[in-house]
A = this chain, B = another copy of it.
Amino acid sequence: MAPESLRSDARRNRALVLEAARSAFEERGLAVPLGEIARRAGVGPGTVYRHFPSKDALFRATVVDRIRLFTYTARELAEASDPGAVFFRYLAAVVRLSARNKALQDALEASAEGRFRPSAEVEEDFRAALHTLLTRAQKSGDVRKDVDTEDVMALLFGCLSMERRRGAGAPAGRMTALMCDSLRVRRRGNVTKLPVGSVSRNETGCVVCGAAVGGARTGRPARYCGGACRQRAHRERVRARG
């Protein structure tokens, strides 16, 4: 079953199935019929079963792939300077990338109920990578010291639910910004300013920390949630130049 041992057409089909499953699961969650996935992949259900022993296994595979992606990103960021900003930016990014992903929600839900375990190894890898980011941010004094990796994972989970709930009614990232605040070490002025009312500008949030940026409805859209992030971005640019 290892990909490299397959004939080229089998390898291609495996990829097609995986990609179709990913998109189908992301849109409709575990409830999507397996036949729908096969149709999207342009293969028969039998072919799906040739590559994955059960629907659950296929689901696991797609979720695992996604989590692995997050793990890789976290590892890359582990070396970055400014651990605090990196940490918050990372959380925001994960939530943003997962908010529309019903597969992840279902996986987390099922995992919480013990019905499903994506992959002990993959989960552990993610946890480890997240742990590194968290620890650095705590050491740099940006994140309170009484939270642990499990807390952050739970917060991520909660943010997904919340972003789903607020949905179209609020700018993306608003709830995430709120949760991030609960992790920050209390310092003068380090609270995200939440926009009041419904805002549609700058929906991707602060380019540094991912927090929602409140701002005037006119003029050039703000790129940073505040002076702190602008300064950080500046320092990064300086260093990059050499």
Q: Which residues of A contact B (CB under 8 A)?
A: 108-109, 111-113, 144, 146-148, 150-151, 153-155, 157-162, 164-167, 169-170, 174-175, 178-183, 186, 191, 193-196, 214
Provided the pairs A112-B165, A112-B167 are in contact, do residues A175 and B154 lie with their beta carbons within 8 angstroms? yes
Residues of B within 8 A of A165 (CB): 108, 111-112, 153-154, 157-158
Distance between A123 CB and nearest chain B CB, rounded to angstroms: 12
Counting every copy of the chain, the complex holds 4
A229 to B149, CA, bound (A): 28
Which of A113, A154, A195: most chain B CB closer than 10 A? Answer: A154
CB-defined contacts of A158 to chain B, threshold 8 Å: 158-159, 161-162, 165, 175, 179
| A180 and B155 alpha carbons, distance in the complex (Å) | 12
Enumerate chain B residues within 8 angstroms of A178, measured Cβ to Cβ: 147, 151, 155, 179, 182-183
By a CB distance below 8 angstroms, the chain B residues around A164 are: 109, 112-113
A interface: dominant SS: helix
Q: List the B residue with the shortest CB-CB distance to A159.
A: B158
What's the minimum C-beta distance from A199 to chain B, rounded to whole angstroms?
12
* Chain B residues with CB below 8 A from A154, complex form: 162, 165-166, 170, 175
Q: What is the minimal beta-carbon distance from A124 to any residue of chain B, in angstroms?
A: 15
A205 to B146, CA, bound (A): 16
Known: A154-B165, A165-B154. A191 touches B181 (CB 8 A): no
Expressed in whole angstroms, the Cα–Cα distance for A108 and B160 within the complex equals 13
Query: 12 extra interchain contacts, Cβ-Cβ under 8 A, other than A154-B166, A160-B161, A179-B179?
Result: A112-B165, A113-B164, A144-B194, A146-B193, A146-B196, A150-B166, A151-B174, A154-B162, A155-B178, A181-B181, A181-B182, A186-B191
CB pair A162 B155 closer than 8 Å: yes
Contacts of A182 in B (CB 8 A): 178-182
